[in-house]
Structure 1
Amino acid sequence: MLHYIIQTIAFQLFFLIIYDVFLKEETFFNWNRTYLLLTALLSLVIPFIKVSGFKHIISQDYVMNLPEVFIGNANQDAIYPILLPGITLENKPFWSWELIFYLGAGIATLLFAFKLVKLLLLLFKNPKEKLGYVYIVSLSKSSMAFSFFNYIFLGEQIKINDRDAILKHEMVHVKQKHTLDLLFFDLLRVVFWFNPLIYMYQNRIMSLHEYIADAQVVKNQKTNHYVTKIEIKTGQVI
């Protein structure tokens, strides 16, 4: 397992370096999104791929078979050892790498579940209205805005003049299923809670989501007007 983890981290580091050096500053955001999702998945799969051809790199022509060598009289009957039952005492430390791994994964699972429960409480406790295939959830005493699948959470303290731009911004998140991306990396964080590269992957995908949403909305609005409105905190919670 340790060998697999080391390989996974090595591939993730390699893919992130490629992204930061060559792709991060580019403006084809959807392609960058695909790259991050695909490479994160590939880093988990590649260590399992075994190339059978590597086993036959050394030709059989170069393999020398040595003759059998017998020490003593080969004609004597074979003597088989008699194994007697015994008691083996083995001192195992209370703390082990396996225990630490499962303990960390358990804590990460609880944190993830707590975040989901908190989100569901916001969903059920606040008034909702349907807008097409999207539900708008009004958050009392809040100026935040974020989305979760087909639900858009808007704080009641957001100015009326700003709501339209922010709603369009969050609609892009909904349409492009950005919540699935975040859920994918949240699940990776549960298993690989010790791996900082997973958190780096998630931070980069979240930034891309904002760039994608901004780019879509700017097409239909004046840039300066939109930038002023979007200063209000927006994003996704999951």
Structure 2
Amino acid sequence: MELTISYILKTVLLLLALYLFYYSLLRNQNSFSFNRLYLLLAPLVALVLPLLKWPVAFAPENAISVALQAIQLTEVTVTAYGTGKKAVSETSDISLATMAAVAYSVGILLVLAKLVKQLWQVQSVKAEAESATSLSDGIHLYQLPAHIPTFAFGSNIFLSKQSHLSKSDQDQVLEHELAHVKLRHTWDVLYYEILSAILWANPVVWLLKQELRDVHEYQADARVISTYKAQNYTSLLSKEALLNMGLPIGSYFQKPQVLKRLQMLQLSGQKPAWTRQLLVLPFILGLLFIFSVQQVDAQTGILAELTQEVSMLAGSKPLTEDNFTQETKPTTEQPEINAVAKTSIKPEPLKEEKVREAFPSSETANKPDTKATSGAAKPEKPFVYVEQMPSFKGGEIEMLKYLAKNIRYPKESQEAGTSGLVVLGFIVEKDGSLKDIQVIKSLDESTDAEARRVVESMNGSWEPGKQNGVPVQVRYTLPVRFQIK
């Protein structure tokens, strides 16, 4: 749920940023083809960018994320099915999520229903209109009743009664509608109508749709004045200004934005400012850098609060950007095993010099502290990351199978409706045994005891970790989630 809300907020902010960029730099430029392409791609960019991950080489993950990758084992989920009570917060979350999904779906259906109604109206008008003639490229002309304005839809042009216009004016009107057909503006309109249905709650989509309709008119006007005199066409637009529209999905000669069209016609012959268009690419790259989502485990937020605690348990100072740097690659999810194992985050091996910088080698860890009192030796501290990490005998898959087979949901916790996360910390010794098993994050007495019992039963089933080929102590954390369905 949190990831969905985060994604929606990112798309809203991205679309707003793209619209403001267009409004401030491109809107009043006569680079109509470029503006059209920008407006068509802007919603797709806003939907895709939050799903992309910036290369780690250019945008390294923060120290907490790195630390978690180094010390966190696969999360294990223990699910109980039955008539036990659910946590109040869980029930509330599901209820709110369901209500929000239903409300949003209703909005989508209403907008789509409006579009279907308009398409049906176009077909009704076509059925009632008189077929005038057919032009080349499969373009058809229809004569409309006097009360419906001239418009184009698909490969059809619907002409209203134009007795008040001269033959030259009528030809210019026809040329304008032909431009809409030849430039395939109808597909742009339908594309944005569907986007408006899917993203109906985002007001920026509606603003972008109107901007695209304006660009359509500017393009058609530019086609007309390439054949006819601009002065005559401007006079014609002035005559037809501020007439009402008919069907909203058609491309009309008479539009309320006719005054903006008159202003844009004054820019005919001027070269567009290419420098503004060149700014689009760095602008989008900047948005990618800012809004790219880092796909980490769902428990990162919780475990981030525990990082300092784990570091203290490990006997080392808290990890920060200043004393911990790591290059990583995106990891893949492990398959679910008996519906228990969830996302696993595995670290990539650190470069040797970075390992030494972040964590002392086994030799230096055991050297006497020259600053300490005479004869006192610095105690050995467990590592949190080494060249060869400890592993459960048989590998991680076997560990997950073992946990799925042996861990149980305490009956008293089920009856109490207790659900949540237990985080255990332990050290894998040089001989593969486990020691210093502690509950870092507690849920309740029963779940804590069960999680601890299972970890203790894994004693003797581990291969030790090695640094510089020498077995060393390594600290791990294991998150165990208890949930009721």
Report the TM-score, using the length of structure 1 for normalisation.
Answer: 0.81
Q: 2:174 aligns with which of 157, 167, 180?
A: 167
Look up the match of 1:96: 99
% identity of equivalent residues: 25
Look up the match of 2:19: 16
In the alignment, the residues of structure 1 paired with residue 247 and residue 212 of structure 2 have an alpha-carbon distance, to the nearest angstrom, of 11
Look up the match of 2:139: 134
* Long gaps (5+) in structure 2: 72-77, 250-485
1:20 counterpart SS class:
helix
Look up the match of 1:124: 127
* 1:136–1:153 Cα contact (<8 Å) kept: yes
* Long gaps (5+) in structure 1: 67-80
* 1:150–1:174 Cα contact (<8 Å) kept: yes
In the alignment, the residues of structure 1 paired with residue 163 and residue 51 of structure 2 have an alpha-carbon distance, to the nearest angstrom, of 49
1:37 correspondence with 2:40: yes
Deviations 1:94-119 (A, max 9, x none): 98211210111111111111111111
* 2:150–2:158 Cα contact (<8 Å) kept: yes
Alpha-carbon spacing, 1:236–1:206, altered in 2? closer, same or farther (3 Å): farther
* 1:9–1:195 Cα contact (<8 Å) kept: yes
Bigger radius of gyration among the two: 2
The alignment of Structure 1 onto Structure 2 pairs a total of residues equal to 222
In the alignment, the residues of structure 1 paired with residue 185 and residue 216 of structure 2 have an alpha-carbon distance, to the nearest angstrom, of 7
* 1:108–1:190 Cα contact (<8 Å) kept: yes
1:107 counterpart SS class:
helix
What letter is aligned with 2:135?
A: L
The residue correspondences of 1:10-89 to structure 2 (distance < 5 A) are 10-51=13-54, 53=56, 57=61, 63=67, 85-88=82-85
1:112 correspondence with 2:119: no
Deviations 1:109-145 (A, max 9, x none): 1111111111111112212221222111211123511
Look up the match of 1:147: 152
The residue correspondences of 1:208-223 to structure 2 (distance < 5 A) are 208-223=215-230
Look up the match of 1:70: none
In the alignment, the residues of structure 2 paired with residue 3 and residue 93 of structure 1 have an alpha-carbon distance, to the nearest angstrom, of 16
Bigger mean CA deviation after superposition, 228-237 or 195-204: 228-237
In the alignment, the residues of structure 1 paired with residue 50 and residue 218 of structure 2 have an alpha-carbon distance, to the nearest angstrom, of 32
1:87 counterpart SS class:
coil
Structure 1 stretches of 4+ with a deviation exceeding 6 A read: none
2:105 counterpart SS class:
helix
1:185 correspondence with 2:189: no
What is the CA distance between 1:40 and its match in structure 2? 2.1
Report the TM-score, using the length of structure 2 for normalisation.
Answer: 0.42
* 1:146–1:153 Cα contact (<8 Å) kept: yes
What is the CA distance between 1:26 and its match in structure 2? 1.1
Deviations 1:167-222 (A, max 9, x none): 00011111111111111110011111111101100110111111111111112111
| More helix as a share of residues | 1
In the alignment, the residues of structure 2 paired with residue 174 and residue 84 of structure 1 have an alpha-carbon distance, to the nearest angstrom, of 60
